[in-house]
Amino acid sequence: MKYLNLAAHVVKNMMLEILIIIIDLSGSMNIDDWKPSRKAGAIKANKELIKVKAKHHPQDMVGIIGFGTMAEVLHEPVCLANEVGSLNRALKRLPDLGYTNFNAALELAETCLFEKSVQDKKDIASKGVRSFLSWLLYDPPTKSSHYIKENSPNNGCVRRIILLTDGDWNEGGSPLRIARRLKDAGVVIDCIGIGGSPEDVEADKLRPIASRNSDGSIRYCFIGDQQQLIKKYESLAHHIRPV
């Protein structure tokens, strides 16, 4: 009985996040107003986010999507406890992907966040309480062991997206419908605009994509400096309450 009580306590108090990092890889990300480039600044900030998140929340999952004219999964969501090196290697190989299609990026993120379990966990109970606790405490999800429940925003996981761009969408049509669907499903979306000046991005197109905090503030900001971007991503690495 004591093992069952412990399992219930752990499950009740465990907070997990599944975070999809979305990086704009359109041609303008190679502009060198951020030395050596905007893309390099984005890579550095995301590496710092992974480092901080792995230190404080190693049970969380992180995936990476790059987008331009089309979107591409550069690394599927994996548990940070096992895969920091693999995620960082994916960030070193970011391709140039053309224009700026927010729709494709957000639709691919939706697929990653709400993918059905690859491994069926229904047989865990049949292995006994000790085996269950061993899996729960020492065998966090890996790339072959997703724990996301489809269409269930309140199952103990917080699903998040951080979308970084240096412009506005100019391919694939308006992303507002998919953004609304994600937010209605409980996904928290942060939008980060980067560049030499706020005029480099169209904030009016990005703000409606972002989530709102409980105080009504919008989870969008423009950042014009690489060090500020790193600090922002360090703060985003930590857990948040669903909005």
3-state secondary structure 110-173: HHHHCCCCCCCHHHCHHHCHHHHHHHHHHCCCCCCCCCCCCCCCCCCEEEEEEEEECCCCCCCC
pLDDT tens digits, one per residue of 107-145: 999 999 997 433 333 333 334 444 444 444 444 443 333
pLDDT tens digits, one per residue of 220-243: 999 999 999 999 999 999 998 655
Domains by residue range for the chain, with CATH: 2-158+168-236 (3.40.50.410)
Burial state string for 227-243 with b = 16 or more CB within 10 A and e = fewer than 16: eebbebbeebbeeeeeb
Alpha carbon distance 180, 42 (integer Å) = 25
- In DSSP terms, 79 is beta-bridged to 61
Please report the sign of the dihedral spanned by the C-alpha atoms of residue 38, residue 41, residue 46, residue 47.
positive
DSSP category for residue 94: P
Under a CB-based contact definition with an 8 Å cutoff, are residues 57 and 80 in contact?
yes
Q: Which residue has the higher pLDDT, 101 or 118?
A: 101
Tell if the pTM clears 0.95, that is, is over it.
no
Backbone φ, ψ for residue 82 (5° rounding): -115, -15
Give the residue among 34, 112, 28 at the shortest CA–CA distance from 73. Answer: 112
Alpha carbon distance 243, 241 (integer Å) = 6
Q: Predicted confidence band at 200 (pLDDT cuts at 50, 70, 90)?
A: confident
The mean-pLDDT minimum among 78-87, 141-150, 182-191 falls in 141-150
Alpha carbon distance 56, 235 (integer Å) = 12
Q: Is 3 left (phi over 0), alpha (psi -120 to 50) or beta?
A: alpha
Alpha carbon distance 2, 12 (integer Å) = 15
CA distances from 148 to 19, 83, 139, 214 (A): 12, 18, 15, 25
- The amino acid present at 4, given as its one-letter code, is L
Average pLDDT value for the chain = 82
